[in-house]
């Protein structure tokens, strides 16, 4: 493990974030299969929806969708939510088939929680640039060097990384999970450095931070916040903790340069709850733009403005109606996790589900 991947508590030193370019997922195997499929090629959106409705009933399937999915997928899903809510739904469902419209690590988590169900993802190349910044070998190496250390992994990690972790968390319960760890133990928090810095600030706990970032959220900078707020001074600012500007915004709010009571760091599910209960005339939304569909649908009298129009996760958008139909028709692509990996990852995931 090289020194540039980890931040020593209390200093940034010479470490650099692991950055990832915007991914190109336009031409996945699943997309090519749709292009070659003589039946699907002929179907318009209305017919795809009709056939999905028939198949989901025949198969007793439940369709779960993340808040960043394209509108038509959110609209057809049985449940739309954030990472934690989707894990809870997967754990609770009795449906024999789960079609997971989200990214691969989310479907893997569902497969770990529901080994007796068939978990399908319409496009297995729906990855995550943040999850890709850390491997199980790297976590094992840290453990070898720090035998008394505790590893807390954000849910945006592969099953193999979760299997090497003591705890999992999501953006909605990271603070609670850190508070569960005995105070005398050194903690490696991975892989998102901005979430890690936020957790440090809020809990006062010094952490070893993995220097991973999400290409979508890392690009949301202080200049974007200043420009958005200049146009909507009465709005609330909702920031996902993966955003590159979270630490600066927290510092600015503490210094009175941003209104502290209207600068809120929330998971996507937290933003949905805020939209429903809080009556500011407008919310500035600092996360992936897919969430705007749901916010606007549920709160027609309110204005929601993205702090960046180009905050788009290409991985999330690879899931389409045609791929969802094919998933149900052909039982592709099944997501499975080797039983030994699943058993070890499950411990960490169960602790995440307990911290609500
Ligand atoms: P949430 O758990 O807040 O939905 O976040 C998931 C994610 O991938 C953020 O980029
Ligand atoms: Fe991963 Fe970022 Fe996409 Fe979320 S928005 S799934 S962290 S790449």
Residue-wise pLDDT tens digits, 242-260: 999 999 999 999 999 999 9
Binned at pLDDT 50, 70 and 90, residue 356 comes out as: confident
Query: Ligand 1, closest atom to CA 270?
Result: 3
What's residue 21's pLDDT? 74
Percent of the chain exceeding pLDDT 70 equals 94
Instruction: Please say whether the beta carbons of 190 and 162 come within 8 A.
Output: no
Q: Are residues 12 and 134 in the same domain?
A: yes
Tokens of 18: 């692991």
The reply to whether ligand 1 has any atom less than 6 angstroms from the CB of 87 is no
Assigned domain for 217 exists: no
Tell me the residue range of the domain where 54 lies: 29-126+315-339
What's residue 26's pLDDT? 86
Lowest mean pLDDT among 5-19, 63-77, 79-93, 336-350: 5-19
User: Which residue has a Cα nearest atom 1 of ligand 2?
Assistant: 128
The reply to whether ligand 2 has any atom less than 6 angstroms from the CB of 324 is no
Q: Residue 206 sits in a domain of what CATH number?
A: 3.40.50.10800
**Three-class DSSP labels, the chain:** CCHHHEECCCCCCCCCCECCCCCCCCCCHHHHHHHHCHHHHCCCHHHHHHHHHHHHHHHCEEEEEECCCCHHHHHHCCEEECHHHHHHHHHHCCCCEEEEECCHHHHHHHHHHCCCCEEECCCCCCCCCCHHHCCHHHHHHHHHHCCCCEEEEECCCCHHHHHCCCEEECCCCHHHHHHHCCCCCCEEEECEHHHHHHHHHHHCCCCEEECECCCCCCCCCHHHHHHHHHHCCCCEEEECCCCCCHHHHHHHHHCCCCCHHHEEECCHHHHHHHHHHCCCCEEEEECCCCHHHHHHHHCCCCEEEECCCCCCCCCHHHCCHHHHHHHHHHCCCECCCCHHHHHHHHHHHHHHHHCC
What is the chain's length?
356
CA–centroid distance, 84 to ligand 1, in Å, is: 9
Task: Give the ligand at the shortest distance from the Cα of 126.
Answer: 2
The reply to whether ligand 2 has any atom less than 6 angstroms from the CB of 195 is no
Assigned domain for 161 exists: yes
Burial status of residue 332 (CB atoms within 10 A of its CB: 0-12, 13-18, 19 or more) = middle
Looking at the structure of the chain, the number of domains it has is 3
Binned at pLDDT 50, 70 and 90, residue 24 comes out as: confident
As a whole number, mean pLDDT of residues 176-186 equals: 96
In sequence order, the 6+-apart residues with CB closer than 8 A to the CB of 11 are none
Binned at pLDDT 50, 70 and 90, residue 9 comes out as: low
Tokens of 108: 């893997």
The reply to whether ligand 2 has any atom less than 6 angstroms from the CB of 133 is no
Assigned domain for 261 exists: yes
As a whole number, mean pLDDT of residues 187-194 equals: 98
Q: Are residues 58 and 183 in the same domain?
A: no
Q: What is the mean pLDDT of the chain?
A: 94
Assigned domain for 22 exists: no
As a whole number, mean pLDDT of residues 11-40 equals: 81
Whole-number Å distance between alpha carbons of 227 and 54: 47
CA–centroid distance, 83 to ligand 2, in Å, is: 11
What's residue 13's pLDDT? 44
Sign of CA dihedral 275, 278, 280, 281: positive
The reply to whether ligand 2 has any atom less than 6 angstroms from the CB of 291 is no
Assigned domain for 138 exists: yes
Q: Are residues 112 and 135 in the same domain?
A: no
As a whole number, mean pLDDT of residues 90-117 equals: 97
Assigned domain for 197 exists: yes
Q: Are residues 158 and 178 in the same domain?
A: yes
What's residue 93's pLDDT? 96
What's residue 250's pLDDT? 95
The reply to whether ligand 1 has any atom less than 6 angstroms from the CB of 170 is yes
| CA nearest to 80, candidates 94, 61, 100, 60 | 100
* Tens-place pLDDT, residues 287-315: 999 999 999 999 999 999 999 999 999 99
The reply to whether ligand 2 has any atom less than 6 angstroms from the CB of 105 is no
**Cα 294 versus chain centre, distance:** 16
Q: Are residues 12 and 158 in the same domain?
A: yes
CA–centroid distance, 83 to ligand 1, in Å, is: 6
CA–centroid distance, 54 to ligand 1, in Å, is: 30
* Tens-place pLDDT, residues 118-170: 999 999 999 999 999 999 999 999 999 999 999 999 999 999 999 999 999 99
Q: Are residues 300 and 231 in the same domain?
A: yes
The reply to whether ligand 1 has any atom less than 6 angstroms from the CB of 156 is yes
The reply to whether ligand 2 has any atom less than 6 angstroms from the CB of 82 is no
What's residue 14's pLDDT? 46
The reply to whether ligand 2 has any atom less than 6 angstroms from the CB of 128 is yes
Instruction: Please say whether the beta carbons of 342 and 111 come within 8 A.
Output: yes
Tokens of 246: 């979270």
Residue 160 φ/ψ, nearest 5 degrees? -65, -40
Tokens of 338: 């080797």
Q: Are residues 320 and 259 in the same domain?
A: no
The answer to whether residue 17 scores a pLDDT higher than 80 is no
The answer to whether residue 3 scores a pLDDT higher than 80 is no
* Tens-place pLDDT, residues 194-230: 999 999 999 999 999 999 999 999 999 999 999 999 9
Query: Ligand 2, closest atom to CA 217?
Result: 2
Assigned domain for 352 exists: no
The CA R_g of the chain, rounded to the nearest whole Å, is 20
């Amino acid at each position: 493990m090289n020194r540039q991947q980890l931040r020593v508590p209390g200093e940034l030193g010479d470490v650099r974030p692991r950055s990832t370019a915007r991914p190109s997922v336009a031409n996945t195997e699943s997309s090519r299969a749709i292009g070659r499929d003589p039946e699907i090629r002929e179907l318009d959106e209305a017919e795809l929806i009709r056939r999905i409705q028939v198949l989901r009933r025949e198969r007793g399937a439940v369709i779960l969708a993340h808040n960043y999915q394209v509108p038509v997928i959110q609209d057809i899903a049985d449940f739309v939510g954030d990472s934690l809510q989707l894990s809870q739904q997967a754990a609770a469902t009795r449906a024999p088939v789960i079609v997971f419209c989200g990214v691969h690590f989310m479907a893997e988590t569902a497969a770990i929680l529901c080994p007796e169900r068939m978990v399908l993802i319409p496009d297995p190349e729906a990855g995550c640039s943040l999850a890709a910044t850390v491997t199980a070998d790297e976590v094992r190496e840290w453990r070898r060097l720090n035998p008394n250390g505790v590893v807390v992994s954000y849910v945006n990690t592969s099953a193999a990384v979760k299997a090497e972790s003591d705890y999992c968390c999501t953006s909605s319960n990271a603070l609670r999970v850190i508070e569960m760890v005995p105070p005398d133990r050194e903690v490696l928090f991975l892989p998102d450095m901005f979430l890690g810095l936020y957790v440090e600030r809020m809990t006062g706990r010094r952490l070893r931070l993995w220097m991973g970032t999400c290409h979508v959220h890392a690009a949301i900078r202080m200049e974007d916040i200043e420009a958005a707020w200049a146009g909507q001074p009465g709005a609330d600012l909702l920031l996902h903790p993966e955003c590159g500007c979270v630490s600066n915004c927290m510092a600015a709010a503490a210094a009175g340069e941003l209104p502290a009571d209207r600068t809120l760091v929330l998971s996507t599910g937290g933003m949905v709850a805020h939209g429903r209960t809080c009556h500011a005339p407008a919310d500035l939304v600092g996360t992936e733009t897919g969430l705007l569909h749901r916010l606007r649908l549920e709160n027609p009298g309110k204005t929601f403005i993205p702090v960046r129009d180009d905050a788009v996760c290409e991985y999330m958008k690879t899931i389409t109606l045609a791929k969802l139909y094919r998933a149900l028709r052909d039982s592709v692509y099944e997501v499975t996790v080797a039983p030994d990996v699943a058993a070890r990852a499950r411990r960490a995931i169960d602790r995440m589900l307990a911290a609500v």
